[in-house]
Amino acid sequence: MFFLKKLISYLILPPGIFIALFLLIAVLSRKRKVVYIPAVAGALTLYLISVEPVKDLLFLPLEGRYKQPSVVEGDVIVVLGGGAYNSGYLKASSYKRLITGFLLHRRTGKPIILSGGASIGVIPEAKIMRELLMEFGVSDREIYADLRSRDTYENAKYVRELCERLGCRKVTLVTSAFHMARAVRVFEKAGLEVQPYPTDFKFEGRYNLYSLFPKYSVFYDSSIAIREHIGTLFYKLFY
């Protein structure tokens, strides 16, 4: 009964329902190749990016380069924003990055730079993160915030300016593991010495039968990975 309940829920909820609709269109139009082939391709593509093994294949080259170091070597801890809602709440990636930065600060006593403006929203991410850190008990004197940056390039630019002001030579960079390789490259090109400290890992690597069922959460994560691959290519071409 549990398996049947799960199977039905995966079929009637997105993306399962859309995969089924694509397949239905393919069956009904199997004699019309102009419709049949795109319908089958759509169903297959949607299914593949919604199952865990394929999602992991997308994340492996992004997350496999850096591991969490045992010792914090930077003069300052830099936390990059990962998105915020216009309601004033951080998105999941931002929370995970912030918690990691907070724990590193508590362990080492080193100051924190928060970097993230309001790229497409209305409230700077770094402002929200700063307020949360102060609620966690971090002194305002130990927090520095870049409220202007809208992308990774500007993160590096404005963090470098803060580091020059503070006299910091090396940063411990905290961001999501899938974003780390691009961030390190951009920060190093900006002239900063970087110790990567990845968090928010998406790669799982362990599967069971349910891993082959399409899930929206997996589709969402795969979309993040695809976007990051596109972003990496864009930065290699233009930065």
Over the stretch 206-232, which tens digit does the pLDDT of each residue have? 999 999 999 999 999 999 999 999 999
Would you say residue 132 lies in a domain?
yes
Say whether both 175 and 231 belong to one domain.
no
Say whether both 85 and 194 belong to one domain.
yes
Mean pLDDT across the stretch 97-126?
95
Would you say residue 71 lies in a domain?
no
Say whether both 129 and 91 belong to one domain.
yes
Say whether both 194 and 216 belong to one domain.
no
Q: How many domains does the chain have?
A: 2
Say whether both 191 and 222 belong to one domain.
no
Q: Say if residue 42's pLDDT is above 90.
A: yes
Residue 4 is predicted with a pLDDT of 84
Would you say residue 66 lies in a domain?
no
Q: Say if residue 10's pLDDT is above 90.
A: no
Residue 190 is predicted with a pLDDT of 97
Range of 127's domain? 76-199
Would you say residue 70 lies in a domain?
no
Say whether both 115 and 222 belong to one domain.
no
Would you say residue 60 lies in a domain?
no
Residue 8 is predicted with a pLDDT of 86
Residue 62 is predicted with a pLDDT of 98
**Sign (positive or negative) of CA dihedral 134, 137, 141, 145:** negative
Interval 154-207: pLDDT, tens: 999 999 999 999 999 999 999 999 999 999 999 999 999 999 999 999 999 999
Say whether both 81 and 193 belong to one domain.
yes
Would you say residue 105 lies in a domain?
yes
Q: Say if residue 6's pLDDT is above 90.
A: no
Would you say residue 175 lies in a domain?
yes
Q: Say if residue 102's pLDDT is above 90.
A: yes
- Contacts of 227-231 with CB under 8 Å at 24 or more apart are 228/62, 228/178, 228/179, 228/182, 229/58, 229/62, 231/152, 231/182
> How many CB atoms lie under 10 A from the CB of residue 103?
14
- Contacts of 225-230 with CB under 8 Å at 24 or more apart are 225/55, 225/58, 225/59, 225/62, 225/178, 226/49, 226/58, 228/62, 228/178, 228/179, 228/182, 229/58, 229/62
CA distance 28 to 22: 10
Say whether both 11 and 117 belong to one domain.
no
Say whether both 180 and 98 belong to one domain.
yes
Say whether both 189 and 85 belong to one domain.
yes
Residue 7 is predicted with a pLDDT of 80
Would you say residue 124 lies in a domain?
yes
CATH no. for residue 120? 3.40.50.620
For the entire predicted model, the pTM comes to 0.94
Say whether both 98 and 10 belong to one domain.
no
